Each structure stands twice: as C-alpha cells, then as structure tokens.
Amino acid sequence: MLTDDLLDLRVKGALPRMEVLQQVKDEHGVNFMATICAICKAQFTKVLPIYGFDRRMVGGVHQLVSNAIILGEDK
C-alpha cells in the first residue's frame, strides 16, 4: 500500500483521519500527530501535505516523548 502508484487510494483512505485531525487542531490546538508504527508515519508524511498540513506534524511516539524530556537545568 505504500507504493506511490496507490497514492490516490491512500489519500481517499486517509480522509476520515484528516477530518478528525483538522477538528482537533481547530478545537484543541493540536500540532503533532504521534503514530505507533513506522508504516503509519510513512503513510501520513505523504498524505498530510495533500490535505494542507505540514508533514513535520507527524512523527513517532518515541519522538514525541523525546521532545518532551528536559535534561539538566536550563541556564
């Protein structure tokens, strides 16, 4: 399914998720979508721009956690 030959199908299949993402972005200010697996991340980095989202808005759960960790004191 990740082949670019099936991009139209992938775009159509992502529509319900993109509608919900837009809704939570508008209502709650969501600015990042964490995915559990690398295949989902690869899928959404291709589809997000088609629906007007920045492709950097998607990443893995590990990336989300690592971005939240603060090590040491901030001086």
Indicate whether 73 belongs to any domain: no
User: Cβ(34)–Cβ(59) under 8 Å?
Assistant: yes
What's the pLDDT at 5? Answer: 74
Indicate whether 75 belongs to any domain: no
Indicate whether 63 belongs to any domain: yes
Q: How many domains does the structure of the chain reveal?
A: 1
Q: What is the pLDDT of residues 12-70, one digit of tens each?
A: 989 999 999 999 999 999 999 998 888 888 889 999 999 999 999 999 988 888 888 88
Of 31, 44, 35, 28, the closest CA to residue 63 belongs to 35
Indicate whether 21 belongs to any domain: yes
Distance CA 28, CA 72 (A): 30
Q: What angle, rounded to 10 degrees, do the helices at 38-47 and 7-28 form? A: 90
pLDDT interval class at 75 (50, 70, 90): low
Indicate whether 53 belongs to any domain: yes
Boundaries of domain holding 59: 4-68
Q: How much is the pTM? A: 0.77
Task: Write the Ramachandran bin of 72: left for phi over 0, alpha for psi from -120 to 50, otherwise beta.
Answer: left
